[in-house]
Amino acid sequence: MTADTADTAVTRIAMFDAKAQYAALKPELDEAALRVMASGWFIQGQEHAAFEAEFSAYCEAKHGVGVASGTDAIRIGLQAIGVQPGDEVITVANVGMPPVVAIREAGATPIFVDVDRASRNIDPAKIEAAITPRTRAVLAVHLFGHPVDMDAIRAVTDLHGIKLMEDCAQAHGARYKGKRVGSMGDAAAFSFYPTKNLGAYGDGGCLTTNDDDIADRARLLRMYGWRQKYVSESHGINSRLDELQAAILRVKLRHLDAANEERRQRAAVYDEALKGVATPVTASWAEPVYHLYVIETDGRDELRAALNAAGVGTDIHYPLPSHLQPACTDLGFGKGSLPETEALAARALSLPIYPELPMAHVERVAEIVSRLASGS
């Protein structure tokens, strides 16, 4: 694969443009940041409480518990639903290491199952065989912005009396059979890393749940076990969503549905132009939000190099599955143990997609990919 010389002359098309996002919302974001600075209150204040209420309502969940990161949201959520040291948590290996880190920080062991090849999400049919007497929960990741098949997974977890937690880090606003992700598991975790569909200007996360007791435990866990200041009812950690990030997220939340629609419009352009390429598949019951637009090709590395030469930024989500990471060798999942996951890791390539990406750039990326992938 080669790129035409003319391709190298165009303005570089980035995978993500934080400056463009800021420019689009500058007056509102500036007002929110200055409001916090003038208030003199920076931790656990009115902005934080308002965001928790607004975000949980958006997710159609009863409770929102703001924390310092998406990884902490998973860890605290797992502990709040009852995962203890020595337990096992079933999840997938094609989502990067944060879920694995969170499971291990909760004292549990991650048990990987393979993905469904079409959706790239956890394969519900693979879960039951992985259940042991030590299994306490399934962590289902709504990968790339497409929801998992919650009913199929819930049927297995209910049958075996284990908990179901959602990882919604890439799926803010996505719907499954009309329901928002983050409202269907025993608990759910969100990340607000700056590149997310709902991103802060730093780290941040939130746990949502419809269970009063889980929410109460999560609130204790996130801040030293305090219900009353300086009195620790239980062990906890320091994981708080600060006022500045909460205020910024409140602004962006108001625009999230419109931003997700912009993502869907750009995905539709890719879908139409890339007929000869393996593009994302959308289930009939899903309303995805395209956190990432991931194609597959056997010549992935060559295509990526050619796109880079043509001025197009790309990324790979994710090049080395969790079960093959050096830090996970003790788990006993060798090469070949998760064939669908490994095939995806060898073929996946993420193309630029974000609300501020000009449609002309989307069309140009699609044209270059289509031409290079066809070899013409």
DSSP string, 335-362: TTSSHHHHHHHHHEEEEP--TTS-HHHH
Please name the residue ranges forming H helices in the chain. Answer: 18-39, 46-58, 70-80, 98-105, 124-130, 150-160, 212-222, 243-254, 256-273, 300-309, 339-347, 359-374
* Topology agreement, domain 5-17+256-374 and domain 22-254: no
List the beta bridge partners of residue 294. Answer: 350
Are 306 and 372 in contact by the 8 Å Cβ rule? The answer is yes
Confidence (pLDDT) at 196: 98
Residues of the chain with pLDDT under 50: 1-9
Contacts of 276 (CB under 8 A, 6+ apart): 370, 373, 374
pLDDT at 1: 47
Alpha-carbon distance of 251 to 81, in angstroms, equals 30
Query: Model pTM?
Result: 0.95
Q: CA angle, corner 141, sides to 152 and 171, nearest 5? A: 105
Tens-place pLDDT, residues 216-249: 999 999 999 999 999 999 999 999 999 999 999 9
For residue 353, the model assigns a pLDDT of 98
CB 240 within 8 A of CB 222: yes
Q: What gap in Å lies between CA 148 and CA 70, rounded to an integer?
A: 18
Q: What is the pLDDT of residue 11?
A: 76
For residue 1, what is the enclosing H or E element?
none
The pLDDT score that the predictor gives to residue 373 is 81
What is 22-254's CATH number?
A: 3.40.640.10
Ordered by start, the domain boundaries in the chain are 5-17+256-374, 22-254
CATH architecture under which domain 5-17+256-374 falls = Alpha-Beta Complex (3.90)
Q: 269-287 burial, b for 16+ CB within 10 Å, e for fewer?
A: bbbebbeebebbebbeebb
Look-up of token digits 């799926």: 171
8 Å CB contact between 118 and 131: no
**Main-chain dihedrals φ then ψ at residue 84, nearest 5 degrees:** -125, 165
Widest pairwise Cα distance in the chain: 69
Identify the CA nearest to 135 among candidates 194, 86, 182, 75: 86
